[in-house]
A and B are shown apart, each in its own frame.
Chain A
Amino acid sequence: MADLRYESPETIEAAVALLAGEGRTARVFAGGTDLIVQMNEGLVEPSLLVDIKKIAETRRIIIEPDQIRIGAAVTGAELGENQQLQAMWPGVVEAVELIGSAQVQGRATLGGNLCNASPAADSVPAMMAAGARVVIAGPAGTRETPIGEIPTGPGRTSLAPGEFVVAFLLPKPPARSGDAYLRFIPRTEMDIAVVGAGISIVLNSDGTCAAARMVLGAVAPTARLVEAAPEILVGNRLDEPVLQALAGAARATCSPINDKRGTIEFRTQVAGVLACRVAKIAWQRAEKN
């Protein structure tokens, strides 16, 4: 194994300089729950680990006047303990809390779940449904982009050399809105999504849908927006024909693979079931807000 070095810069600029100076063999290191396993298995052989946990901006959750800023190295356990976030985006929090065991929750980060770029990452469909944006630092400065632009395929991201995710931005949810995330796994804990479904909706005062965004995970190389969901839901209530149309749209969005966790047919079928279930949960939450 090549010589592996470790740096833990305290500023964004220092981290960018280290990442850019090393090039493609540098890896951002945060919770380590994916990266250490990949290193042990010889899947990656980085020359430099840049630990971003000492950078203050990556470790904070800040409720700003019109948005919520979540540092990329905030852990699942820390997110789950934040009651304001739990109240505003319960679907995002429930998605993050599904990742791994309590021990993994103490280390695994939101930034890692995104940038590991697993098609089955639980936080990504929920964050996309919530309209999350990411703050990226790099040699050219800081930029923002919708979260869905980051993963480009299994294990691949659109981040350029020297760039890293500093924080996530979630909008403040409007009145009468709700979000939810569900996944299917063959057991109750400690597994990887066979299908994941996240949704966020806003209701009109008459109880019909005003806006909706649904995203599926583990049914394509990246998390995938159900593009027909808004036209099916907006202006309507969640009655049986609408649910059937939503299930159909979710199934039509799938292009999954066969693997040990599920067949193409099973994943496609389950995507429709989860789409209906998750929509009902979000609806109930929105009616209470």
Chain B
Amino acid sequence: MSRNLVTATINGDEVEFSCSTGQTLLEVLRGELYLTGTKNGCGSGDCGACTVFLNGRPVNACLVLGVEVGGANIETIEGMAKDDQLHPLQQKFLDHAALQCGFCTPGILNMAKALLEKNPDPSESEVRFGLAGNLCRCTGYDKIIRAVLDAAAEMRASGS
């Protein structure tokens, strides 16, 4: 197999890794870099559990190749909290118990963050559509939606 040496910025740190051409960014994050917060759900872009930011846009890491992210800026769930300070979305997910098994949570947090960056004051319907690419197998959607709306309100109030 051809190996490729790739350098990218991940959660603010410059990281060098080696990958085969067919290896996805998801496989690189979990298997090569041990950033296992990004979850492997369906592997086909349907469930959103592997949602990360690639150059500022939310993408499914299972539908990105490691070899193509040279020079890119990647943010994973491990970069969401700043030291001990949880992101408002993370705190609201705890407050609202917006997780059951937690497997979908990293992807939903990242997608919700992307949604609020684009639309700081979404309606409930806009949140539901915005998170349509994220499946929660425990079906805890209502608490997730409430947590996102509450986090949005707090972020607007604090100007963050």
Contacts and interface: CB of A to CB of B under 8 A. Distances in A.
Secondary structure of the B contact surface, majority rule: mixed
Given A6-B68, A190-B132, A103 B4 contact: no
Contacts of B22: 1, 4, 39
Contact of B1 (A3, A37, A189): A3
B76 interface: no
B64 to A, nearest CB: 7
21 contacts: A4-B22, A6-B68, A32-B63, A32-B64, A32-B65, A33-B60, A33-B63, A36-B24, A49-B65, A51-B68, A53-B68, A77-B57, A101-B133, A102-B58, A102-B111, A102-B115, A103-B59, A103-B63, A103-B133, A188-B129, A189-B129
Interface string B126-139: 00011011100000
B133 A100 contact: yes
A29 B65 CA distance: 10
Interface in B46-74: 46, 48, 51, 54, 57-60, 62-65, 67-68
Contacts of A53: 68
Interface of B: 1-2, 4, 20-22, 24, 43-46, 48, 51, 54, 57-60, 62-65, 67-68, 111, 114-115, 129-130, 132-134
A106 interface: yes
Given A101-B60, A102-B130, 18 more contacts: A1-B22, A6-B67, A36-B24, A37-B45, A40-B44, A51-B68, A100-B45, A101-B45, A102-B58, A102-B114, A102-B115, A102-B133, A103-B48, A103-B59, A106-B54, A107-B59, A107-B63, A189-B129
Size range of the chain A interface in the assembly: 20 to 34
A20 interface: no
A288 interface: no
A133 to B, nearest CB: 29
A188 to B, nearest CB: 8
A6 B59 contact: no
A4 B21 contact: yes
A106 B68 CA distance: 15
A101 B135 CA distance: 11
A18 interface: no
B127 to A, nearest CB: 12
Nearest to B118: A102
A189 B44 CA distance: 16
Contacts of A269: none
A5 B46 contact: no
Contacts of B60: 33, 101, 103-104, 107
Contacts of A37: 44-45, 63
B84 to A, nearest CB: 29
B36 to A, nearest CB: 19
Given A39-B22, A102-B130, A103-B111, A6 B57 contact: no
A244 interface: no
A31 B46 CA distance: 15
Nearest to B66: A6
A5 B132 contact: no
B90 to A, nearest CB: 19
